[in-house]
Amino acid sequence: MNSSDLLTPEIKKELVEFAQSLVRTKSLSGQEEAVIKLIEKKMIDLGYDEVTIDSMGNILGRIGSGEKSILFDSHVDTVEVKDESKWDFPPFSGDIVDGRLHGRGSVDMKSAVAASIYAGAIAKKMGFTSGKTVYVSCTVFEEDCDGENLKHLFKELDLKPGYVVICEPSDNVITLGHKGKAQVSIKTHGVSAHGSAPEKGVNAIYEMAEIIQRVDKANLELMRKGEMRGTLVMSRISSVSASLNAVPSECEVYLDRRIIPGETEDDIRREMDQLIKDKNASWEVGTLHRKSWTGMEITYEPFHLAWKIDLSHELSKACIAAYQENFGSEPNQYDFWDFSTNAVTPVSMGIPTIGFGPGEYKLAHMRNESCKVDQILDACSFYARVIEKI
């Protein structure tokens, strides 16, 4: 039992062609206008009751107006391609070869965009939306600012769905949560002096040297904590000096700390305090500033805790029932993402949230990114079944 139970041959063809068209439409973070307009037309053509683009540039389609509500979210922005000549197939061709859709965004996550949009229309046609409201959101600037898009969408449209399905790639495995993250900036402070008289200054880079060693040691300790463990990576270093002939007055490093269930905000703050202990240094959350395709200024605070939904929850049970009907057997495994997603917003609002999407997430952002076409079709019918079961 699979997608053929709900998807006619004509719908399958349309769905795959739409996924191809999404891949062919470039949509780097902050440059998603063309793909959002493409989605808007498709939602209207498929008979969505309402289609709205908010001031940040996210698009929301609605079907039905019942009391019980569920939202399926996918982001439409992708990372850049800097090695196009080395791809086996052009990264924006949307070619289908050997049963796989090839191209940037095929995994992360335009296949899920297509599957979720068609799932809403199929659920409506099958009568699954009776007494329910189904939302499908296609959000922008997730790659840099996960969750900020849904935060804005929910606030602007005064929306709080009852349930959320995050359609990030999971190889069509029900995913129960993901790690949190804290992106942190540490700065050391020195005293500038001419390079010919360094003894008159204090070198901020030397002040940072021990902190760098502490970061490495802290990560090694985290790695020894078992299968479920946090990580700490120093991803950038820079300095400020009056010239190349001067003692640096400031040095900055940027840290990426992945957080596991059970770790608290206080735990992370204490850890950062220890990294700079007894040094002329300070730390803060590494706030990011971006601009959406509509011109809206985005301010993002990357500090989110891990989350996990229980298998006994109503949403989990609905997904398990949908999986069984869609694939003919109960799930034999569940997943937990290492990476962060838009789920951080609904989870922070107390909205039950779960994950499921086509594509192997280890192929995301990689050369020769590709997704199995059968997984796209199966994800679509699974989403429709979730609407039926919820």
Q: Write the single-letter amino acid at 62.
A: R
Report d(CA 384, CA 119) in Å as an integer. 5
Catalytic residue among 14, 77, 263, 378: 77
Cβ atoms of residues 32 and 140 within 8 Å: yes
Report d(CA 212, CA 189) in Å as an integer. 15
Bridge partners (DSSP) listed for residue 290: 298
Residues sharing a CB contact under 8 Å with residue 187, sequence separation 6 or more, in sequence order? 250, 251, 252, 281, 282, 283
Task: Give the rounded distance of the alpha carbon of 302 from its chain centre.
Answer: 12
Please provide the DSSP assignment of 162-198 as one string.
SEEEE----TT--EEEE-EEEEEEEEEE-B--BTT-G
The per-residue b/e assignment along 143-159, b for 16 or more CB within 10 angstroms, e otherwise, is bbbbbbbbbbbbeeeeb
Bridge partners (DSSP) listed for residue 258: 181, 231
Active site residue 17: no
Residues sharing a CB contact under 8 Å with residue 350, sequence separation 6 or more, in sequence order? none
Burial class (CB in 10 A: 0-12, 13-18, 19+), 243: exposed
Active site residue 142: yes
Catalytic residue among 54, 108, 142, 263: 142
Report d(CA 64, CA 43) in Å as an integer. 14
Positions marked active-site = 77, 142
